[in-house]
Structure 1
Amino acid sequence: MTRSGKKNHRQQRGTAARRRGIWAETLAVAYLRLKGYRVIERNWRSKLGEIDILARRGNLLALIEVKTRADTGLAGGALLQPQRQRLLRALSHYLKTRPELAGLDLRCDVLALGRFGWPVHLVDAWRPDF
Structure 2
Amino acid sequence: MTDRRSAERRGRVAETGAAWWLRLKGWRILARRVRTPVGEIDIVARRSGLVAFVEVKSRATDAELDFAIDERRLARVAAAAELLAPRFLQPNDDMRIDVILIAPGRRLRHIENAWIG
Question: 4+ residue runs of structure 1 moved beyond 4 angstroms?
Answer: none
Map Cα deviations across residues 78-104 of structure 1 (whole Å, 9 max, x no partner).
Answer: 2111111111111111123x1753631
Give percent identity, aligned residues only: 36
Q: Distance in 2 between matches of 1:112 and 1:100?
A: 25
Amino acid in the other structure paired with 2:95: L
Return the match for 1:113 from 96, 102, 109: 102
1:103 alignment partner, SS class: coil
Matched, 1:45 2:35: yes
Map Cα deviations across residues 86-126 of structure 1 (whole Å, 9 max, x no partner).
Answer: 11111111123x17536311121111101113311112222
Q: Distance in 1 between matches of 2:58 and 2:51?
A: 22
Structure in which a larger fraction of residues adopt helix: 1
Q: TM-score, normalised by structure 1?
A: 0.81
2:114 match: 125
Map Cα deviations across residues 55-93 of structure 1 (whole Å, 9 max, x no partner).
Answer: 100111111110111233532542111111111111111
What is the 5 A alignment of 1:1-130? 11-96=1-86, 98=87, 100-101=89-90, 103-127=92-116, 129=117
Max Rg structure: 1
Consecutive unaligned residues in structure 1, runs of 5 or more: 1-10
Q: TM-score, normalised by structure 2?
A: 0.89
Consecutive unaligned residues in structure 2, runs of 5 or more: none
- Size of the alignment, in residue pairs? 117
